[in-house]
């Protein structure tokens, strides 16, 4: 009865996201930096979506998936960063129970979707580089739509399972979440009962959504590297390696930091290290994606100039 009353108390009063409370000297600096990165994320990813839609030359599978990635990053950061900014600015770091639930379900769904989508994108690049003559046949619109739908569906399924199981745990009145986001590992750590089943389920889900996509990406880029080495043109090899290395940098940052958070036992995770690591996949990589994938691309730069020229009535040379 006491445990049920304490659990209901958490539902009524919500939680306190401690975030970076132990570093008061960093709060204002983090607020400014994260706000700038958030605005850049919104601007960069919105630009990619608009240019990909408005420029007919970019109506290809690669930019179809990039548009989905950009939309994902806008939604994912918007589910996390506004609350983080409020907590950095405001001494009161409360979040309602319903607000925590929404953040948990939405952020996990979008994060899981991105894990699968990045693997899909690596397969697209493998077909484009290793089987260029069959690219348009293999990566036809129906397959692209099916792969994108699979990524979104997998994210919805995993959040319905993981988030629901996590929220069924009793918290016994524990309200202080030692993080800046309502996330599965930190809520499991908050529970006052044995969480062996939840941690085992989280581990299995992490293998499916982290290790499996990373393996697909590494295999795809292994074949791509072999194909690139066979290119006789030095400039061609340099361009191909530049594209591949950029993609791999995002993969390492994104998957590496999430693996650090999700493949460690919740009880043994370092107190503050996880918060700073989480900033990479919640703030940094969504901002880097448009820079690395497209804004460095000459094709996108030409398309951006063309679209801006039409809108502003200016002929860019």
How far is residue 219's CA from residue 160's CA, in Å, rounded to a whole number? 30
Q: 198 lies in a domain?
A: yes
Q: What is the pLDDT of residue 3?
A: 45
Structural domain harbouring 276: 16-307
Q: Supply the CATH number for residue 124's domain.
A: 1.20.1070.10
Q: 313 lies in a domain?
A: no
How far is residue 200's CA from residue 212's CA, in Å, rounded to a whole number? 17
Residue stretches of the chain with pLDDT short of 70 = 1-12, 236, 239-240, 242-243, 265-272, 294-297, 309-317
Sequence length of the chain is: 317
Q: What is the pTM of this model?
A: 0.87
Q: Residues 19, 279, 214, CA angle at the centre, nearest 5°? A: 135
Q: What is the pLDDT of residue 270?
A: 61
Mean pLDDT across the chain, nearest whole number? 83
Q: How far is CA 25 from CA 20, 35, 37, 62, 88, in A?
A: 10, 17, 20, 43, 11
CA 238 to chain centre: 28
Q: What is the pLDDT of residue 2?
A: 45
Number of domains within the chain: 1
Q: 10 lies in a domain?
A: no
Q: 9 lies in a domain?
A: no
Nearest by Cα to 103 from 211, 199, 184, 16: 184
């Amino acid at each position: 009865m006491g445990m049920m009353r304490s659990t209901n108390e958490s539902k009524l009063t919500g939680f306190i996201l401690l975030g970076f409370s132990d570093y008061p000297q960093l709060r204002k600096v983090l607020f400014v930096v994260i706000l700038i990165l958030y605005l850049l994320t919104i601007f960069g990813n919105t630009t990619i979506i608009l240019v990909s839609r408005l420029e007919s030359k970019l109506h290809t599978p690669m930019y179809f998936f990039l548009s989905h990635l950009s939309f994902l990053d806008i939604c994912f950061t918007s589910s996390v960063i506004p609350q983080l900014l409020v907590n950095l600015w405001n001494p009161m770091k409360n979040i309602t129970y319903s607000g925590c639930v929404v953040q948990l379900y939405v952020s996990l769904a979008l994060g899981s979707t991105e894990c699968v989508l990045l693997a899909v994108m690596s397969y697209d690049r493998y077909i484009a580089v290793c089987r260029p003559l069959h690219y348009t046949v293999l990566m036809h619109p129906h397959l692209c739509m099916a792969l994108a739908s699979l990524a979104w569906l997998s994210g919805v399924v995993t959040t319905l399972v993981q988030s629901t199981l996590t929220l069924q745990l009793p918290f016994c009145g524990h309200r202080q979440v030692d993080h800046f986001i309502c996330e599965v590992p930190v809520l499991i750590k908050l529970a006052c009962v044995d969480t062996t089943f939840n941690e085992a389920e989280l581990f299995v889900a992490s293998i499916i959504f982290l290790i499996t996509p990373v393996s697909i990406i590494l295999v795809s880029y292994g074949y791509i590297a072999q194909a690139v080495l066979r290119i006789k043109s030095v400039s061609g090899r340099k361009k191909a390696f530049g594209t591949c290395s950029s993609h791999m940098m995002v993969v390492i940052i994104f998957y590496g930091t999430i693996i650090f958070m999700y493949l460690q036992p919740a009880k043994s995770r370092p107190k503050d290290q996880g918060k700073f690591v989480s900033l990479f996949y919640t703030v940094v990589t969504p901002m880097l994606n448009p820079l690395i994938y497209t804004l460095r691309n000459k094709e996108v730069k030409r398309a951006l100039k063309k679209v801006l020229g039409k809108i502003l009535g200016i002929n860019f040379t």
